[in-house]
A and B are shown apart, each in its own frame.
Chain A
Amino acid sequence: QQQVKQSPQSLIVQKGGISIINCAYENTAFDYFPWYQQFPGKGPALLIAIRPDVSEKKEGRFTISFNKSAKQFSLHIMDSQPGDSATYFCAASYDFNKFYFGSGTKLNVKP
């Protein structure tokens, strides 16, 4: 049973557009929600993360929106650039011990 469900599986966005990736979870014990970015041939790297006591976190062009009651969170990439083309993973964790990853979204930003 997948603990974190992610959509869409793939996404094509024009340069300058907004990329939106959604995730949903069931376990209310989760208390840490990171997003990871993975380029081909590399390991995933932390992009941005949020705790459930805030509804939004912004770092540059990247924003996480968090809806605790709906058990959903999403990543918004503003002004998407070709260099943002990568696979994005949402994840959830409790006690920072075990991280459950979503199935990944392959983002392609067209020039």
Chain B
Amino acid sequence: DTAVSQTPKYLVTQMGNDKSIKCEQNLGHDTMYWYKQDSKKFLKIMFSYNNKELIINETVPNRFSPKSPDKAHLNLHINSLELGDSAVYFCASSNLGELFFGEGSRLTVL
């Protein structure tokens, strides 16, 4: 039973399109995150939610909008996709300490 699952695993789309990535965790954690991993493997935090409330919002373009319908779910919607958005997006959850990551969603913008 996967602890943090995200869908889809792969996304290939054209510039200007809108896309969403979904994330669910079954660990009962209060905090969920979105991280972006670029082509050089650098992991950068984008957003963090604690019990459905946004607590961290890094300098991310407002084309990126997270939504947390409940504390087990954190979705990421991206509008007007650009070439530079191509990356692997990781969802993670934690409860005071260890981060549990999903397997990532590889987004390719053509």
A interface with B by C-beta (< 8 Å): 32, 34, 36, 38, 41-46, 49, 87, 89, 96-101, 103-104, 106
Contacts and interface: CB of A to CB of B under 8 A. Distances in A.
Contact of A49 (B43, B56, B97, B102): B97
Interface stretch (B11-19, B78-86, B88-96): B88-96
A104 B42 contact: yes
B90 A43 contact: yes
A108 B94 CA distance: 29
A43 B31 contact: no
The 3 closest A-B pairs by CB, nearest first: A43-B101, A101-B43, A104-B41
Nearest to B96: A96
Interface class of chain A by DSSP: strand
Given A43-B103, A46-B98, A49-B97, A97 B55 contact: yes
Contact of A44 (B43, B48, B50): B43
A99 B96 CA distance: 11
B31 A87 contact: no
A54 B34 CA distance: 31
Contact of A97 (B41, B48, B98, B102): B48
Nearest to B90: A43
A98 B41 contact: no
Contacts of A103: 40-42
Interface in B21-59: 31, 40-45, 48, 50, 55-56
Contact of B45 (A38, A87, A98): A98
B66 interface: no
Contacts of A49: 97-98
Contacts of B74: none
Contacts of A45: 101
A101 B97 contact: no
Nearest to A43: B101
A45 B100 CA distance: 7
